[in-house]
Structure 1
Amino acid sequence: MLDIRWIRENPEALDAALAKRGAEPQSAGLIALDEERRAHVTKVQEAQSRRNSASKEIGAAMGQGDTDKAEALKAEVGELKSFLQNAEETERQLNAKLNDALSVLPNIPLDDVPEGADENDNVELRKVGGLPNFAFAPKEHFELGEALGMMDFETAAKMSGSRFTLLKGGLARLERALGQFMLDMHTSEHGYMEVNPPLMVRDDAMYGTGQLPKFTEDLYQTKEGHWLIPTAEVSLTNIVSGEILDVETLPRRYTALTPCFRSEAGSAGRDTKGYLRQHQFYKVEMVSITDEDSSIAELDRMTKCAETVLEKLGLPFRTMMLCTGDMGFGARKTHDIEVWLPGQNAYREISSCSTCGDFQGRRMNARYRAKDEKQTKFIHSLNGSGVALGRALIAVMENYQNEDGSIRVPEVLKPYMGGLEVIAA
C-alpha cells in the first residue's frame, strides 16, 4: 500500500508511475478522499473543544443566576454530544473509503524498470547455458509423461476436473526429488530458514501481501472463511506481520516447499494442455525481510539463488527484467527467470523474483527500528520462486529426454532418486 502523505506531496509522480503501468491517474480522487477525512477529523476536534468549553460556561452561567444562558448552553452541549456520538462511525467509514481506494493501487516501479506495455517489452539481462541439440524431434512433456504411463490427466480430471494431474512412479519421485534438492540447497548454501507454514490463512494475511481485495477471483476460499494460499509468500511474509523488528536481526530469509492453489481465473484458455498451468501445484518459495537500504541488493541475491537451481540442474535459461506493464501488483522491480523447453521450442517462466519495497510492510504494519533510533520504519519485503516444481519437472523431462521416450536423471538429483539414472516405462 502507498502512503497517502507521499501521494499528497507527490501527486504528479503517482500519476506518472500509474501511466507507466498503463493505469489511469488517481491522485486527485485520493487526495479528495483524504481531504474529506481530514476535514471531518478537524470538525470532531473543534466539537470536542467547544463541548468542553461550553460545559464550563454552564457552571459559570448558573453561578451568575443566568438560567436562560445556561439552558442555551446545555442545548448546545447536547447537540455536540449527539454529533460526537455519530462522528466515530463517520470517521470509520471515511477511513475505510480511503483505505479501500489505496488498497487496489499498484506499487510504484523503480526508476530503472523499463517502461513497456507487456511481456514483449521486457529486457533480457543474461542468457545461461547452451540449448540442447537433439538428433530427433523433441517431444513435449505431456507426450513423454503419458507414454511413460506416469502423467495421468484423464484420471485426475475424473476426480477433480480440468487442470489437475496425477503423477505416478518415477515422475512423482522426480518431482519430490526436485523439491528436496531445492530446499537443501537454499538452507545449506543460501542461508534461508526452512519453514513449514499453514496452507490456509485469514483475510488479513491475504490482504497483507496484496492478494486481497484485488485478486479475489483467483483464490480459493473454504466454507469457514479461510483462504488456500496461492503461494507460500503469503504465509512466510506474514511471519513478521504486526511486529517491530530490531534492524540487527535483518535480513530474515525464509523458504518453504508447499502446495499452492490458484483458480487461474485470469488466464482462461492459456496453457490448458499438460502440466504447465495447474489449479494445484508445488513450489519452493523464498522470502526476504530487509531494511530499506538492502532491498535492491537482496533482489539480485535472491535472483542468483533461483538461477543456481537451474545451473545445478543443467537447464538452459535466460533472466529478464520485467517492464512496467508486465510487473505484478505489489512489485517495484521484478526479475523473471525463463527456462528453455525444447518441446515447445521456447523459453517459459519458471521463477519470478520481486522487491516490493515497503508496500507489503505498510499493509501488514510490519516495522523495524534502527539502533539508537526511536522512530520506526516499515520493513521491505522480497519474494521469489526457488523454483516452481511442476515447471522444473517439465524442463527436466524435455531437456533430458531420450529418443525412446525415457528421461535421464540429472546428476544432482541422483542421490534423491536412490541412484536411479533413467526413468523408463
Structure 2
Amino acid sequence: MPAGLVISAPASGVGKTTLTLALARAWRNRGLNVQCFKSGPDYIDPAFHAAATARASVNVDSWAMDRGTIAHLVNRGADADVVLAEGSMGLFDGVAARGVSGTGATADIAEMLGWPVLLVIDPSGQAQTAAAIAAGLRDYRPGVRLAGVVLNRVASPRHEDLVRRALNDAGIAVFGALPRHAEISLPKRHLGLVQAEEQAEIGKLIDEAARFVVEHVDLDAVLRSAAGWSPQPAANGLNVTPPGQRIALARDAAFSFVYPHMLEAWRAAGAEISTFSPLADEAPDASADVCWLPGGYPELHAGKIAANARFRSGLRAFADTRPVHGECGGYMVLGTALTDADGIRHDMTGLLGLETSFAKRRMHLGYRLAALAAPMPGHQAGARLRGHEFHYSTIVAQPDTPLAVVHDATGAVIAETGSRRGLATGTFFHLIAEDR
C-alpha cells in the first residue's frame, strides 16, 4: 500500500520544492518507487519531480478539477511505495470563491486524499513564534492533519534548539532541521524556477539536496508519518478533448508551459503529437491538422523568434488552412509585435492583431473561467473552460474579435478576453479543464 504525504508550508519561498525533490531522490536511492504530484496550477515543478523520480508528475487542482478527475490523476501512484503531493503557496491559500471541488488550496488536496501534511518552516528572524505558526496551521481546519515539521535555513544550533523546544511543547514532531546551504538553491526568474530542462546540472543538484537532507532529516520517521493510502476507483477520467487528431506542438525553451495531464489526455484520446522548435527555426508539421503554441518565455527570445523566417512563414502558411491556437506566450507570438524588457519592439507572426509589451511590466495572476463566444481547437462555442493566468506582459492593443468572456475566480470580468481572426485563436490563460 502506498504511503501518502503532502508537503506544504506557511508561505511561498520556504523550500517546499527543494525538500520534495530531496526526499523523493533519497527514497528512490533506497530503492523505493516515488510518485510526485503538484497541487495547484504550476507547470514548472512537475518537470523537477520527474527529474527526481524518473516518473511523470502531474497537477491536481481543486478549483479547476472535480474529485473524479483528481482521483483519476492520483491513481497513477497506485504502484508506488511513496506518494508526495507538493503544495503551492501557503497551506490554506486559495481563492475566495469555491471552484469545482475547492478553492485551489493545498489543504483541499490533503483533506480530500486523507494525507497528512509535512510542514516546511523557515524560522529566520524568529524562534518560538515558529511553533505558534505551526500550531495555528495544525488547528485551523479540522479535516487537515499535521504529520510534523522540517525546519529550513536554521541559523545556528542554539536557534534550532529554541525552535525545537517550542515545537515539542506544542506537541508537534520535528523530523529535522536544515542549516542554510546555498549549494542546493534552485535558480529563479520572473515566472518562477528556471525550468528543469534548462539546467544541465539538475541531476547533481538534486543528488546534493538528497545527501544534505539525509544528513539532517529522519527519513524513516517522515515515512512512518505518511498515511497508508488505497487508491479509489475513479468514476471518470479527464474531461479533455484533443484540439485535433494530429497536433503540431511548439516545444523548446520559449514554448514549454504545458500541463502534463493535458498532453496525456490528448494522447489517451487517440491524438498524435509532433513537436517542433520555433527557436530552431522549424515550421509546424505539414501533415498536422492543428498547431498549438503553449506559453513559456518568448519575451526572453523575442529577437530570435522575429528573425526566424522559416518558422514565421511556415506558421502563417499553416494557418491559411488549419487552426492555430496560442496560450499566453504562444498567444503573444501569434500577435503583431512584442516589446521586450529593454523596450525593443519585435515583429511576431501577425496572425492576430495583439501587441504586447514586457517593458511595461504588470503581474497578471489568477484562475480564469472563460465562456467561449466562438469555437477554438477542441472546444465548441459556449464551452466553459477553466484555466490559470500568470504573466507580466501588458496589452498594448487587442483589436480582434474577443474569443471569450473571461472572469476571474471572484466573478469579475477581466480584459484579457483572448482573440480570434480567421483560423487563429489565442488566450492569456492556460487551459486546465472544461466544465462538465
TM over 0.5: no
| Normalised TM-score (structure 2) | 0.24
Write 1 or 2 for the structure with the bigger share of helix: 1
Identify the structure with bigger relative contact order (alpha carbons < 8 Å, sequence gap 6+): 1
| Normalised TM-score (structure 1) | 0.25
Write 1 or 2 for the structure with the bigger share of strand: 2
